Structure 1
Amino acid sequence: MPIVTANGINIAYRDEGQGPALLLCHGWPELGHSWRHQVPALVAAGYRVIVPDMRGFGGTDAPGAVEDYTILHLVGDMVCLLDSLKINRCTIVGHDWGAPVAWHAALMRPDRFRAVAGLAVPWSPRGPHGSLVGMARAQGLDRFYMLWFQEPGVAEADLGRDPYETHRRLLVGASGASAAMGKGWPLMIAEGKGLVESCPSVDVLPGWLNEDDLQVYAATYARTGYRGGLNWYRNLDRNWALTAPWHGAAISVPACFIAGQLDGVLRMPGMDKALRAMDGVTCTDFRGTTLVPGAGHWVQQEAPAEVNSALLAFLAGL
């Protein structure tokens, strides 16, 4: 992967195709590799597709300070990556943690991001009562996984003990098949356990996740560790404070949402309200929601054909 210096860090990225630019932002605990099924389809449809490893992941730098992973840094990385590639405007697409990056990029810089597609995580504007972890903390939900992530070193040790087993359990555990069987990984981590042990063991890999792809994740995280991505979670309170200037603002550029119908994120508190509000309230030019039957959280990997079709339909309407 080529590397460019942007926003003060070295960003590794793929850049393929010609035509209108698309920027694909991955989530946690993933890499740009998670878009492997989208890149060929989008390039074949006449788009230039840029896929970075995000700050703290894979081949991209992982700064040492926790506070270097705020939403302003993450959006800034994407703006400066466009600058480095001499791209004036693009459509931004984000999955999982990449979705809040994409939503905030569209909110903060509509002059640079002409449209936005969020996958798995709907747009949830800044609320009046603090961040998600702040509210969980106030309710005493200390074993909520995002709160469990907050103490530096704890989650790193658990996840990094065996990256192959970690990714095997986390990826399969948040899939549609696991959700359908009631075996998804838990929002609340059992007392005395870590996240990995709280997820069911996996006997056979599903068809959408082959051994080679699992090894890409495992080998990369064995080299980098998990600290960079976990620091995104450690800035949720800070992000709530930093985004005060945009409180009450709506996303004005064309927007769409795509998710697996069995994604556990959609069952988290407040997500049903966020889904409804995108249509004309929090997004003033919302072009629709696509829920893919049978798919879970890793929707673009579990159901690539359906996701590619939905993305191309959205892009064709711009």
Structure 2
Amino acid sequence: MRIDLNGVGINVTDTGQGPAVLLLHGWPDDHHLWRHQVAALTAAGYRTIVPDLRGLGDSDKPGDVEAYRMTRLVGDQAALLDHLQVPEAHLVAHDWGAAIAWVMAARTPERVASLTCLSVGHPRAFATAGWAQRQKSWYMLLFQFPGIAERWLAHDDFRNLREWAHHPDHDAVVARLRVPGALSASLGLYRANVSPESLLSPPPDLPPIQAPTMGVWSTEDMALVEDGMTGSAAYVAGPWRYERVEGAGHWMQLEAPDRVNGLLLDFLNTITARS
């Protein structure tokens, strides 16, 4: 299904019936990232709403970097819920999707029944996670250089991307990024929101998260350190739960789907049972 939101065409799948769960992917993914979770959630009686973020998948790919500002990304999700007449949803998010979800939960708490963030913690926890996180974030600086980043990633059939990221779906990811303009559009997420200047100043203040929140980090993550997730507890006023997935990399929902699905269903079922 394709929906026009704020002048941008967004591709979205809407499956099942029951409490709504909005699943947000990150870079360089699309809605297929959540296929194992969608199957488990719909079987358990949840409605799953899974968009492709602007600039990725089959959604529109504006050429203007400003189109990827966080306010636009969050606005897309609020507009999507409005279009589908969903007053509130459980947010389940990964990577850039998690960054969006943290801001959405802070700014529009009335729309968020619960928050589950995989890999990426609260913006302030990420910013204060120390030198180890800075080292792992080296690629964010590389991605700021138009043309150079694209050449580095795409060289030799995307060899650098394949060897650095170890994405379980690397062939499908590369096929999407080969589409003319797709790679540059996807990098707009980084160029609009994590400029070199932003690395020298704290992120904007956000209200404390009121929703029940679960943070999940995997021990073999090549991009995030554990402190960025455990430190998120300081910014959550609602109930906080932390879970660690042993032996899985950054894409834990693909590498350890049974473990992730079990955690997700346990968390959501507990919340829905109380409501």
Normalised to the residue count of structure 1, the TM-score between the two structures is: 0.75
Paired letter, 1:117 = T
From the superposition, tell whether residues 289 and 147 of structure 1 become closer, same or farther in structure 2 (CA, over 3 Å).
Answer: same
Q: Within 5 Å, which residues of 2 pair with 1:1-318?
A: 2-125=1-124, 144-161=138-155, 165=159, 168-172=162-166, 209=168, 213-223=169-179, 224-237=181-194, 244=204, 247=205, 249-267=207-225, 272=227, 274-279=228-233, 281-318=234-271
RMSD between aligned residues: 2.8
Rg larger in structure: 1
SS of equivalent to 1:86: coil
Moved more, 153-162 or 96-105: 153-162
- Per the TM alignment, residue 265 of structure 1 is displaced from its structure 2 partner at its CA by 3.6
Change in CA separation of 1:307 and 1:126 when aligned onto 2, cut-off 3 Å: closer
Q: Which amino acid aligns with 2:162?
A: R
The one-letter code of the counterpart of 1:252 is: Q
Aligned to 2:259, what secondary structure does the other structure show?
helix
Structure 1 residues 14-23 or 150-159, which shifts more?
Answer: 150-159
Report deviation, 1:22. Answer: 0.6
Using the alignment, how far apart are the partners of 2:98 and 2:15 within structure 1?
Answer: 21
Cα offset for 1:63? 1.0
Structure 2 unpaired stretches of 5+: none
- Name the aligned partner's letter for residue 227 of structure 1: S
* Alpha carbons 2:127, 2:202 under 8 Å: kept: no
Tell me by how many angstroms 1:308 deviates. 0.4
Deviations 1:168-212 (A, max 9, x none): 33442x7xxxxxxxxxxxxxxxxxxxxxxxxxxxxxxxxxx4xxx
Query: Which structure shows the bigger proportion of residues in helix conformation?
Result: 2
Q: How many residues align?
A: 263
Identity over aligned residues, as a percent? 38
Letter in 1 for 2:214: C
CA distance in 2, matches of 1:254, 1:51: 21
Residues 288 and 262 of structure 1, relative CA distance in 2, 3 Å threshold:
same
Give the C-alpha shift of residue 286 in structure 1. Answer: 3.4
